[in-house]
Amino acid sequence: MLTTVLAIVGALGVIIGIAMSWNGGHFGTRFMTNALTNSFFFFSIGLGALFFLTLQYATETGWYATVKRVIEAMMGFLPVGIVMMLVVLLTLTFTHGMHGHIYPWMDPAYFADEAGHHYDAIIAGKRPYLNEIFFWIRTIAYLATYYLFYRGFKMRSEQEDKIGGTDIHFTNYKKGALFLVFFSVFSSTSSWDWIMSIDVHWFSTLFGWYVFAGMWCTTMTVLVMLVLYLKKLGYLPKVNDSHIHDIGKWTFATSFLWSYLFFSQFMLIWYANIPEETTYYITRIEEYQLIYFGMFFINFAFPMLLLMSRDAKRHAGILTFVGLIIVAGHWMDVFIMISGGSMGANAHIGVLEIGMAVLFLGIFIRVVLTNLTKAPLTPVNHPFLDESIHHEI
């Protein structure tokens, strides 16, 4: 019901937004910027859930067993997210990166003709890495790897419910470690390819970790809110305060990880003060000052001040309040990352932006809640289930 309302409101917002900005110039760029922002944001929640699950497998963690199905339901958004990413990236490829506004390196005007008016030596120099064919080889490799691992973990999790024993557990342990090896490389390179290449002249070696930390933080925040919601409805009787406290700690810790990486990237570029590096921040500070630093402030200060104490991390109201705010904050982060490069000074948050985010949110919640109905909410034969039920900190 809620998701239908969200989807309808979102779709209406998108239609009104399109009608309003159809003749406003930059329509195509604006539309695709939003499509990329939302596809990536919600795709990354699914990916973050897959990463978090494999992390639990690889470290043979016990406490999470009672919330495992919630993580898996979020992970189940991955196929939808992959399709969304594919549609957006294909559209961008066929429109030459929206005529060079989103992926300038896809637009032949910048590199094909050395005598041309728009010829850009830097983009031409980056062609061996940033070209459509290699880009698609990499994109397919990332998405296929994520999908195959997702399918394997989902299948084994369902098998475990029927068979039991420890064989599946040890397979998961090995595959989980293997996935982390792939993910550690792919999470960095995919964010270079999909996001950093929008600001094609600019580069930062920290960027991949920054995107990854934001993804992880969003995932943990969504997870804690989803667990609280399901627990309130009485679906997770085995989840106690200690589990909530633990996921709350993850929210707190990953917020700090994200803030730390934000600051590290910002401080080093500020300190070195090299023109080719500072361009990224100059655009964002000049055109997005309020929401850029506002986003940093709420993503850092809210979890720090409100989730510091032990009691707050066990309090459903505080967790949900902080959670809703920092999920919005991290959406804003992804939005500024992408539109700062593609729209620059022309970006603003209007009906189209909000409408599309609400539409994607509706689809996301619908898919996740539907996934929750597919398997028992408490795993039946997880080897650490007993430990998790008696989890107490």
Partner 1 sequence: MADKVIYAMYDDDDVLKDGAKKLVSKGVKVAEVFSPFPIHGIDPIIGVKNTRLGIMAFLYGLTGLTLATIGMRYFMIVDWPMNIGGKPNFSYMENILSFIPITFEFTVLCAAHGMAVTYLLVNKTLPGMPAQNPDPRTTDDKFVMEFRMSENSSFSENELEEMLKETGMIEMDQKEVH
Q: Which tokens belong to 81? A: 């997210």
d(CA 59, CA 53): 10
Min dist. Cβ of residue 13 to partner 1 (A): 38
Contact set for partner 1, span 253-292 (CB under 8 A): 263, 266-267, 270-273
Min dist. Cβ of residue 293 to partner 1 (A): 13
Contact predicate 284/199, CB 8 Å: no
State the maximum Cα–Cα separation within the chain, in Å, rounded to a whole number: 71
Nearer to partner 1, 242 or 346 (CB): 242
Contact predicate 99/118, CB 8 Å: no
Min dist. Cβ of residue 270 to partner 1 (A): 6
Q: Binders of partner 1: how many residues, by CB under 8 A?
A: 11
Min dist. Cβ of residue 253 to partner 1 (A): 15
Nearer to partner 1, 29 or 259 (CB): 259
Contact predicate 257/217, CB 8 Å: yes
Min dist. Cβ of residue 258 to partner 1 (A): 16
Min dist. Cβ of residue 315 to partner 1 (A): 16
Nearer to partner 1, 163 or 393 (CB): 393
How far apart, in Å, are the Cα atoms of 327 and each of 222, 250, 358?
7, 14, 13
Nearer to partner 1, 43 or 210 (CB): 210
Q: DSSP alpha helices (H): ranges in the chain?
A: 2-21, 27-58, 68-75, 78-94, 96-99, 121-125, 132-163, 167-194, 207-232, 241-272, 275-306, 316-342, 351-372, 385-389
Nearer to partner 1, 114 or 392 (CB): 392
Instruction: Give me the long-range contacts of 226-234 (CB less than 8 A, separation at least 24).
Output: 226/70, 226/73, 226/74, 226/368, 227/67, 227/70, 228/316, 228/319, 228/320, 230/70, 230/372, 230/377, 232/316
Contact set for partner 1, span 201-260 (CB under 8 A): none
Cα 36 from chain centroid (whole Å): 11
The helix-helix angle for 78-94 and 27-58 (nearest 10°) equals 140
Nearer to partner 1, 174 or 310 (CB): 310
Nearer to partner 1, 170 or 270 (CB): 270
Min dist. Cβ of residue 266 to partner 1 (A): 7
Min dist. Cβ of residue 36 to partner 1 (A): 30
Considering only residues 148, 155, 285, 393, which one is a binding residue for partner 1 as defined by CB under 8 A?
A: 393
Contact set for partner 1, span 140-179 (CB under 8 A): none
Contact predicate 277/269, CB 8 Å: yes
Nearer to partner 1, 318 or 354 (CB): 318
Q: In terms of Cα–Cα distance, which of 342, 338, 348, 330 is closest to 288?
A: 348
Contact set for partner 1, span 308-347 (CB under 8 A): 309-310
Contact predicate 319/313, CB 8 Å: yes
| Residue 5 engages partner 1 in binding (rule: CB under 8 A) | no
Residues forming the site for partner 1 (CB under 8 A): 263, 266-267, 270-273, 309-310, 392-393
